[in-house]
């Protein structure tokens, strides 16, 4: 989940939101987010698997992926509207 979902989405967000001169901050954001996910993820998934079993853990992981994908697509959509409205305001359209 981390490599298939987190890496592309955080890398895309970091590349889109940071100016090319600030790539160090973008890389720092990615690495800290990745480390946080690797630190928090195993205990959370292990707790779910211990309490309810593996089917519930896989269901929860699937729901997290669906929610994260929807949130990512929504943020791209709203960021695209903000960019186009800002461009129109300054006469770049």
Q: What is the pLDDT of residue 93?
A: 46
Q: Give every residue of the chain whose pLDDT is below 50, as ranges.
A: 92-93
Q: What is the pLDDT of residue 46?
A: 93
Residue 3 CA to residue 67 CA, distance in Å, equals 16
Residue 67 CA to residue 61 CA, distance in Å, equals 10
Global pTM reads 0.57
How many structural domains does the chain have?
A: 1
**Among 19, 72, 61, CA closest to 37:** 61
Range of the domain at 84: 2-89
Q: What is the pLDDT of residue 1?
A: 56
């Amino acid at each position: 989940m981390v490599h298939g979902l987190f890496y592309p989405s955080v890398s895309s967000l970091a590349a889109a939101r940071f100016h090319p001169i600030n790539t160090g901050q973008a890389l720092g954001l990615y690495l800290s987010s990745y480390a946080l996910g690797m630190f928090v993820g195993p205990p959370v998934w292990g707790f779910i698997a211990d309490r309810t079993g593996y089917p519930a853990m896989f269901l929860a992981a699937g729901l997290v992926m669906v929610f994260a994908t929807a949130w990512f697509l929504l943020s791209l959509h709203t960021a695209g509207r903000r960019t186009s409205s800002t461009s129109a305001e300054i006469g770049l359209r």
